[in-house]
């Protein structure tokens, strides 16, 4: 309208008549919603706290806190504030693998398929640390996330035995062909408790997609962001991150609810798994814990 008036030398009234627009349309300014300052303040707080989250995940967090935060509204504020997900600070070679490429078994219920894998990082003084993760492929819950300087097949038995007592027996356990996972002692123990082991093909990390995806988040949001002074600090931070991942981090593939929320909506397990009881599982192999 301003360009039209300037070009033709018209008054505002004449210009509005020429284009058949009410003069009030030239004076209206959209009024921000009353809750927008509070929403924006909380949005910026969440972005600072979770710099690797995009606007969709931030919107899900805001809705979970009771804000009127549709994706379109959050995107508008996101763009207005010039927000961006920063580039990754470092890039590491992936060491884990996951989905069984031989039979393409897909988890259809809780405790149908668990996937486990290892990740590695170092303390500030260079000591290598090793993380064991166990994920339910259906609910995306991180069932276990333990860190130590070394983890043996006996440690794996201890960890799974603890989970069986708390959660029941999974039908399948998927992994790569690492020496700890293919150890005869571990295979025999898993067979005894009724767990089918499923190994991916060598050099085929894409076959273990759920463990790969989880480790991608683990590295991007945790390992790349923290400095571990020592093993004790690493264990404390790891426990806190696992709690946050399960109970507070919206998961995109679950419709932006948390794994814990999604799991609470799922049936306990498949009928054939309901008969498994903690008493039926062999005892722990040792009680000293990881080193």
Q: Please provide the size of the chain in residues.
A: 291
For residues 121 and 62, membership in a common domain is answered with no
Cβ atoms < 10 Å from Cβ of 24: 8
Structure tokens at 98: 């996951």
Domain span at residue 11 reads 2-80
> What are 240's two structure tokens?
């806190």
Whether residue 131 is found in the same domain as residue 241: yes
CA torsion through residues 183, 187, 193, 198, sign: positive
Are 155 and 249 members of one domain?
yes
Task: DSSP letter for 208, please.
Answer: G
CA 118-124-129 angle, to 5 degrees, is 20
Domains contained in the chain, number? 2
Is residue 66 domain-shared with residue 181, that is, in the same domain? no
Q: What is the pLDDT of residue 189?
A: 96
Q: What is the CATH number of the domain that holds 125?
A: 3.30.420.10
pLDDT 10s digit of each residue in the chain, 291 long?
567 667 777 777 777 777 777 766 666 555 556 788 899 999 999 998 888 899 999 999 999 999 999 999 999 999 988 888 877 655 443 333 333 344 467 888 999 999 999 999 999 999 999 999 999 999 999 999 999 999 999 999 999 999 999 999 999 999 988 899 999 999 999 999 999 999 887 766 667 778 888 999 999 999 999 999 999 999 999 999 999 999 999 988 888 999 999 999 987 655 444 344 444 444 444 454 566
Residues 6 or more apart from 146 whose CB is under 8 A from it?
Answer: 131, 132, 155, 159, 238, 290
Q: Are residues 126 and 176 in the same domain?
A: yes
166 and 63 together in one domain:
no
Structure tokens at 290: 């990881």
Q: Report pTM.
A: 0.65
Q: Does 146 share its domain with 63?
A: no
Residue 105 lies in a domain: no
Residues 138 and 269 in one domain: yes
Clarify whether residues 221 and 269 are in a common domain: yes
């Amino acid at each position: 309208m301003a360009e039209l008036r300037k070009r033709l030398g018209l008054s505002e009234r004449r210009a509005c008549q020429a284009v058949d627009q009410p003069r009030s349309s030239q004076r209206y300014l959209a009024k921000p919603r009353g809750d927008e300052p509070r929403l924006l303040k909380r949005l910026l707080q969440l972005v600072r706290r979770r710099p690797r989250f995009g606007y969709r995940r931030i919107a899900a967090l805001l809705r979970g806190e009771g804000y009127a935060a549709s994706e379109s509204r959050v995107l508008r504020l996101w763009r207005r504030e010039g927000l961006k997900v920063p580039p990754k600070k470092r890039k590491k070679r992936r060491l884990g693998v996951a989905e069984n490429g031989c039979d393409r078994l897909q988890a259809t219920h809780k405790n149908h398929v668990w996937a486990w894998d290892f990740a590695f990082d170092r303390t500030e003084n260079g000591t290598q640390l090793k993380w064991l993760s166990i994920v339910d492929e259906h609910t995306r819950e991180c069932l276990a996330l333990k860190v130590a300087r070394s983890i043996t097949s006996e440690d794996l038995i201890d960890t799974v035995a603890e989970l069986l007592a708390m959660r029941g027996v999974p039908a399948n356990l998927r992994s790569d062909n690492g020496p700890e996972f293919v150890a005869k002692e571990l295979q025999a123990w898993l067979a005894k408790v009724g767990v089918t082991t499923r190994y991916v093909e060598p050099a085929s990390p894409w076959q273990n997609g759920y463990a790969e995806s989880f480790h991608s988040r683990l590295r991007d949001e945790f390992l790349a962001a923290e400095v571990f002074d020592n093993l004790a600090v690493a264990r404390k931070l790891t426990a806190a991150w696992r709690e946050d991942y399960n109970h507070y981090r919206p998961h995109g593939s679950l419709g932006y609810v948390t794994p814990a929320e999604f799991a609470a909506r799922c049936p306990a397990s498949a009928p054939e798994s309901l008969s498994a009881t903690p008493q039926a599982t062999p005892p722990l192999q040792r009680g000293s814990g990881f080193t």
